Structure 1
Amino acid sequence: MTDIKKIAIEALEDLKGKDIVAMDVSELSDVMDTLIICTGTSNRQVKSLANNVVEEGKQAGVRPIGVEGLEQGEWVLVDYGDLVVHVMLADVRSFYDLEKLWSMTPASREE
């Protein structure tokens, strides 16, 4: 079986992605198991990092369900279903702080 998580991380490392974080969010989400977040230093690098993830995945026989944000290059999301890759500019990553958001335990609902 193809390990898209390993492929994605190596594709980000190959192009010098910064602060790569892989989070297991399976306990927090019904739609994905792993979230990978990476910082690019410019719009061009963000686009290149995301494209490299897609290309390396394709070479391994895995195609994304979707890719969003390539036009602007501030925040690109590559969706593989169980795995979602976010490549962001530093200020965008800091503003949205996905690591903190996805590390929070959901509040229980009282019925």
Structure 2
Amino acid sequence: MDPIEPIHSEDGPPSGHEAPLPVGATALETAILSRLDDDKAQDIVLIDLKGKSPMADTMIVASGRSHRHVGALADHLQRTLKEHGLGKVKVSGLPHCDWVLLDAGDVIVHLFRPEVRSFYNIEKIWSVDSGHRVDARA
């Protein structure tokens, strides 16, 4: 698996198709990616941290269109994680919803407003290639 694997472009998956899931994704990763896709999160990226960091196995980064969208994504993910037996996950950034972090143990999820995401560009910290920003149709 590539260290940074785009799930779909900002325009979303092609109409009538679900976003492709990465090969080897765990049940938790699949549930998170599915929830984000269902809630129309943008620019979803999965970053494999195995062997790079002891803090988690996977990082998922996604964007919401507005403060309200980021907050709703975070709320829905909290419910999904609870349904998967994780109970109460650690959440940071909910009051402002510019950047919300959900720590589910093996999986860390970062939700951003687009301008905040491009400012911090955390994907670049984990890989030289920020290929998710390139239009896949080009």
**Cα drift, residue 64 of structure 1:** 4.7
Q: Secondary structure at the match of 1:101?
A: helix
1:12 equivalenced with 2:36 (yes/no): yes
Verify the 8 A CA contact 1:18 1:40 in the aligned structure 2. Answer: yes
Q: 1:49 aligns with which of 57, 73, 86?
A: 73
Point out where structure 2 has 5 or more consecutive residues left out of the alignment: 1-25, 129-138
**Over aligned residue pairs, what C-alpha RMSD do you find?**
1.4
1:95 equivalenced with 2:133 (yes/no): no
Match of 2:61 in 1: 37
Deviates more, 1:85-94 or 1:60-69: 60-69
Verify the 8 A CA contact 1:7 1:53 in the aligned structure 2. Answer: no
> Which contiguous aligned blocks of 4+ residues in structure 1 show a shift greater than 2 angstroms?
62-65
Verify the 8 A CA contact 1:46 1:89 in the aligned structure 2. Answer: yes
Point out where structure 1 has 5 or more consecutive residues left out of the alignment: 105-111
Match of 2:132 in 1: none
Query: Which structure shows the bigger proportion of residues in helix conformation?
Result: 1
Verify the 8 A CA contact 1:78 1:84 in the aligned structure 2. Answer: yes
Q: With structure 1 as the length reference, what TM-score do the two structures score?
A: 0.86
Q: Percent identity?
A: 39
**Cα drift, residue 62 of structure 1:** 2.2
Which whole-Å CA distance do the structure 2 matches of 1:30 and 1:58 have between them? Answer: 23
Match of 2:100 in 1: 76
- Matched length: 103
